[in-house]
Homo-oligomer: A and B are copies of this chain.
């Protein structure tokens, strides 16, 4: 549980952890350094043993917080989408013009993320790199249907549903609001991946974000 504003907390599905990592120093250390280590060596090479060495703690202690590294990754990605959802609620509230609301929402899911100093043990900038490189791996497993039933991806779906609702406000006649919303969110991650690794098949340049491309897309489709 993380305080953002004084009264707002990020809550993560209890099934994702054995012991809530936000409740202890070791737990917060696991979160902080797993983000750094996954970013450094990639999720495939990441192990609890290596993390234990990094934080000068024991492998077995980490297992008391997370059953396995997959659930840790789902935890981290859930945290990220909660953080996006929270900021999206803020950014779009009290805006009456639906087009403007959509613009704000698209900015949030397409921009380059920088660290938000409100959470000392989570570096959102690094976490967003993990989202780009590893998020789809949390979905693309043989367990996805069971995990979906358990609510592992609820926050992610909630972010997309918020965008779906705004799209419907902008143009109630458009028949593919759901696909457009999920396409923008997932597509933006993919465009960021391409700009880092397969530069020839994206228009995004090194430090550019995907906002212009997807804002242009949404407006041409909906208006």
Contacts and interface: CB of A to CB of B under 8 A. Distances in A.
Interface of A: 41-42, 44-45, 133-134, 136-137, 139-142, 144-145, 148, 153, 157, 160-161, 164, 175-183, 186-187, 190-191, 193-194, 197-198, 200-204, 210, 212-213, 216-217, 220-221
A140 B137 contact: yes
Nearest to A188: B183
Contact of A194 (B182, B210, B216): B182
27 contacts: A42-B141, A42-B142, A44-B142, A45-B142, A134-B140, A136-B136, A136-B140, A137-B137, A139-B197, A140-B193, A144-B198, A148-B197, A161-B200, A161-B201, A176-B203, A176-B212, A176-B216, A178-B200, A179-B191, A181-B201, A182-B190, A182-B191, A182-B202, A183-B183, A183-B187, A183-B190, A187-B190
Contacts of A190: 182-183, 186-187
A198 to B, nearest CB: 6
Tell me the dominant secondary structure on chain A's binding face: helix
Contacts of A202: 178-179, 182
A176 B211 CA distance: 12
Contacts of A153: 198
Contacts of A201: 157, 160-161, 164, 178, 181-182
A203 B178 contact: yes
Nearest to A222: B220
